[in-house]
Amino acid sequence: MTPTASSDRATGPLPIVIGVTGHRGLRAGDLPALENLVRIILTDTRDKYPHSPLLLLSPLAEGSDRLVARVGLALGARLIALLPLPQALYEQDFATEESRNEFRTLMAAAESSFELPPMDGSTQHELSQPGVERNRQYAQAGAFVARYSHIFLALWDGVGADGKDKLGGTGDTVEFRLKGAPGRYESASSPLSFVSCGPVYHIVTPRPGAAMPEKALTTRFLVPPRETAESFDERLRWIDEFNKDAIHFGAMAPAALAASQAQMLQIPEQELSQQIEGLAPSARSTLHRYAIADTLALHFGGRTRKASRQLFIWVFIAAFFFNLFHSLPSPHVPEDPTFAEELLGLPWLLLCFVLASLTAKFWVHGAFEEGDYQNKHQDYRALAEALRIQFFWHVAGVPEAVVDHYLRKQRGALEWIRNALRAWDAESRAHDGAHSFTRDERLRFVAKHWVWEQRNYYAGKARREQAMLERDERRIETLVRISIGLAIALALVLTLPVLVPLHALEAAREMLESHWVHGLVMVTIVTLGVAAGLLHGYNQQLARSEHAKQFGRMSELFDTAAQHLDALLAAGDHRRAAALLRELGEEALEENGDWVLLHRERPLEVPHSG
């Protein structure tokens, strides 16, 4: 948790990233109005999502970039600078020494900065002078900001690349934001990948010496095709909800966070600092973020399981009372009853059924839905698993980002997870650094703490899920057999005296035909059947059969990977070992995405008791 500079409010660990593009040249007389429009957008964002820190992602070019940075810093936002070129080259594009000093002042105010690598095919000589290759670097910076931002500001007159905007200019960057950047600017582009796009706050900004644009110094909200403003707001609300939960359960840190990290690496907590001491800062920060998401997932997973058990128990109780009411005779009430006799004559069993049903529906299920426990458990678990793989990719030297491979089949509400990963990926770029371990040591670290541990984990989980499934299936079969056996016995006792007129059979029949005995037998038969049905439904809710199969597949996958990885490390083939870990991570991400879909299709609902 971190407090903002402008207030004492606490904010969570996941930032809302503010991106900016705009004209380098601004009219001096427009500056107060532009600053006010930017301030309104940032203040509204901060107030609308009060648990989320604001993080400015900016190249700090002259003009618009710096105006937004100044306003944002004054409001307590953090700043990360991404440089399209090495700083010495970048400063050559600033017109005056005063501009360079302003840039250096903002760089000093930034919490971190990072430099984008040269585009493929660009040489240092080409980048050192104005031209197409240098402009491609600016286009890459614009594409990066457009892709990684949640809120995107464009201080722009609306004129596209039809003569006034060059390659990498504001018009290009707005196009990247609304329609997605071309594949050459994406780190892991594929024709089948979803493009990264989002809405734009277009602050209509005049250029010096140009004609005044229509509705100058006003704000327009531009939304990408086939999207709605509500969908983007929903994603930011989920980010803010995650931060709210992280703040609320912050009291369990750091002990719970350390326990989570140690559990992931399967080591004693006292060995944790020693194990990760030599890792790059980006890897350690990713491990810390994993622990936050994992701790929250465990908490809401426990809430979900508890609510599920309570719900099925209360439905069973409701069904039991209804069966008693339906099967047992009503109490006799005399013609002139006393008040006590009237009370005894009330349908108490029916009232108990109604009370238990209302408890299941509104107390257990209502509280469960209000807290959104199931969705939070699934989403936070999905986020944690993505961060787990991102951590080990960081350590192994796999350069790709998990977000480029995760939840491609899932859109809508789950898109917030991809936005969260992008935000933390942007922060990690700024905090990246070298590992003190050798490449071989890091690959062996990943083999031991991820591949081998996940192999053992999934093998154990598959055995436990299968054992619990078989145990419950035996219980269900026993309940059904007893219920059917009692029904058959009841049928025989009621019908045999007609066919075989024996005194003992007649006596048994008379006993079973009495209201109380017959009612109790029927209650037992029906209750056993209901118990079997609810236990089967509970297993369906937990997806134990699917889990056993899924965990078995993952165990086989990690076992195969472990064998190949051992051979590659023994041969010293680090390149192919890293490639194997990349492929293994992609498979694990796809499997986890399927897990999310499986449980999304099984929302916790009040089961029908019959």
Decide: helix, strand or coil at residue 79. Answer: strand
Q: Which residues contact 358 (CB under 8 A, 6 or more apart)?
A: none
Closest CA to 531 of 542, 523, 521: 523
**Distance between CA atoms of 390 and 339, rounded to whole angstroms?**
72
Tokens matching residue 457: 């984990």
- Strand segments, DSSP code E, in 5-119 are 10-11, 16-22, 54-58, 78-83, 112-115
* pLDDT tier, 341 (very low <50, low <70, confident <90, very high otherwise): low
**Distance between CA atoms of 298 and 15, rounded to whole angstroms?**
22
Q: DSSP string covering 29-57, please?
A: GGHHHHHHHHHHHHHHHHHHSTTS-EEEE
* pLDDT tier, 197 (very low <50, low <70, confident <90, very high otherwise): confident
Chain segment 242-268, per-residue pLDDT in tens = 999 999 887 567 788 889 999 998 889
Give the distance, in angstroms, between the CA of residue 455 and the centroid of all CA atoms in the same chain.
24
Locus of tokens 């209750």:
527
* pLDDT tier, 160 (very low <50, low <70, confident <90, very high otherwise): low
Mean pLDDT of all residues in 555-568: 95
Read off the pTM.
Answer: 0.86
**Distance between CA atoms of 239 and 233, rounded to whole angstroms?**
10
Residue 547, pLDDT score: 84
Helices marked H in 432-543: 439-446, 453-499, 503-513, 515-542
Residue 193, pLDDT score: 52
Please state at what angle helix 415-431 crosses helix 132-148, rounded to 10 degrees. 130
10-11 and 2-3 as β-strands: parallel, antiparallel, unpaired? antiparallel
Residue type, 602: R
**Distance between CA atoms of 460 and 447, rounded to whole angstroms?**
18
Long-range contacts: 1-6, Cβ < 8 Å, 24+?
1/246, 1/247, 1/250, 2/53, 4/46, 4/53, 4/54, 4/75, 4/76, 4/77, 5/76, 6/74, 6/75, 6/76
**Distance between CA atoms of 238 and 415, rounded to whole angstroms?**
10
Following CA atoms 524, 526, 530, 533 in sequence, which dihedral angle do they give, to the nearest 10 degrees? Answer: 110
**Distance between CA atoms of 553 and 538, rounded to whole angstroms?**
23
**Distance between CA atoms of 376 and 188, rounded to whole angstroms?**
29
Residue 5, pLDDT score: 42
Decide: helix, strand or coil at residue 58. Answer: strand
Closest CA to 103 of 90, 115, 85, 112: 90
Residue 3, pLDDT score: 41
pLDDT > 80? residue 383:
yes
Q: Which burial class, exposed, middle or buried, applies to 160 when counting CB atoms under 10 A from its CB (0-12, 13-18, 19+)?
A: middle
Chain segment 29-86, per-residue pLDDT in tens = 999 999 999 999 999 999 999 999 999 999 999 999 999 999 999 999 999 999 999 9
Chain segment 454-474, per-residue pLDDT in tens = 999 999 999 998 999 999 999
Residue 610, pLDDT score: 45
pLDDT > 90? residue 293:
yes
Mean pLDDT of all residues in 95-112: 95
Residue 413, pLDDT score: 58
Residue 161, pLDDT score: 44
Higher-confidence residue of 594 and 409: namely 594
245 neighbors 303 (Cβ within 8 angstroms): no
421 neighbors 608 (Cβ within 8 angstroms): no
pLDDT > 80? residue 400:
yes
CA atoms within 13 A on the CB side of 89: 18
**Distance between CA atoms of 409 and 592, rounded to whole angstroms?**
12
**Distance between CA atoms of 475 and 455, rounded to whole angstroms?**
30
Average pLDDT over all residues of the chain: 86
421 neighbors 379 (Cβ within 8 angstroms): no
Mean pLDDT of all residues in 288-317: 90
